[in-house]
Every structure is written in C-alpha cells, then in structure tokens.
Amino acid sequence: MNTFLTTLAMAVGLVALAIGNEHLLHFTEVTSGVNWIYLPAGLRMCYALVLPLQGTVAIFLASLWMGARDPAISGVLLFTGAAVTAAGPVLARAVAMQRLGLHPNLENLNARMLWVLAAVFGLFSSILHQAYYAALDREPAFIPMWIGDTLGCLLCLYGLKGLARWWRTWNKT
C-alpha cells in the first residue's frame, strides 16, 4: 500500500509541476507540448534515477492524466504518449549506468555527469516525442524540445540538489 501511495503522490507531483509549467512558463511554448524550458523533464529524470520502477509508473500515470485532458486523443495514442514519456528517462538512466559508470546509489553523480545525463535525456525524450507527434500530425520542433527538456532537467535537478543541501543544513540546527 505504501508503494502505491508513493507512486500516486509522485504522479500528482508531476502533474502539478506540468500544469504549473504551462501557466508560469507559457511564454516559452513553441508549439503544443514543446517549451524552451520544461521543468517536469527534470522531475521525470529524478524519478527514474531515484526510484526507477515507481518513477516510471508515476511518469506513465501522470502522462495519462495530462494526455486525457485532450479529448481528440484516442485511447491507443494516449497510452502510446504515456509510454513515450516514461521511456525517455529510463533510457537515459540505462545509458548513464552502462556508459557513464553511474552507480545505482548515485554516489558518483557529479556535475559533469549531470550535464551529460540531462543532454542524453533531452535527446531521448525529444526523439521519442517528435516521432509520437509526427503520428499526431503535429508541427515538428525537435531543437526547442531538446533544449527545453535539457534545460528543464538541469534547472530541476540542480534546484532539488540545492533544496537537499539546504534541508541537510537546516536539519542540523
């Protein structure tokens, strides 16, 4: 039951950040679903790094929730879109583990690796999403999406890192 609630809370957090991004950073939108800065990308990468299985399920559920807001999307495309969204961070994590030497406990995650990880994630996410968007007949926007996902990933992960540092310092006092 605890795993289910954690996964559900993660999905709700991702939806909240996605809706917040839509409202706060609407001026960065290039086309529907593509922003020059997309903060939820970082949360997706964080979920995949810290809790790979639960994170992937949470990303999938949040993507279903977000996609269901568009009544024009069929059930098949809704599930495909959610799978595409969940696949990007999982693939980036796999590359980081196998090619960059990232340890499963993340103890060796340094600044250089974080930058490479964000760029690789942005690449996977953009390629997969642009292929999906082609099936939906949407306007292609690979470069803005890659930049937006990479920037969002960096901003979110560095923000979470700073928040964790602040929390540890605050807890000691």
pLDDT tens per residue across span 16-64: 999 999 999 999 999 888 999 999 999 999 999 999 999 999 999 999 9
**DSSP notation for 35-54:** ES--THHHHHHHHHHHSHHH
**Domain containing residue 121:** 2-167
Domain-embedded: residue 80: yes
pLDDT tens per residue across span 102-114: 998 888 888 888 9
pLDDT tens per residue across span 118-166: 999 999 999 999 999 998 888 889 999 999 999 999 998 888 777 777 8
Domain-embedded: residue 78: yes
Domain-embedded: residue 172: no
pTM, two decimals, is: 0.91
Give start and end residues of each alpha helix (H) in the chain: 2-24, 40-50, 52-67, 75-98, 111-135, 142-172
Domain-embedded: residue 173: no
Contact 62, 15 (CB under 8 A): yes
The enclosing domain of 147 has a CATH number of 1.10.1760
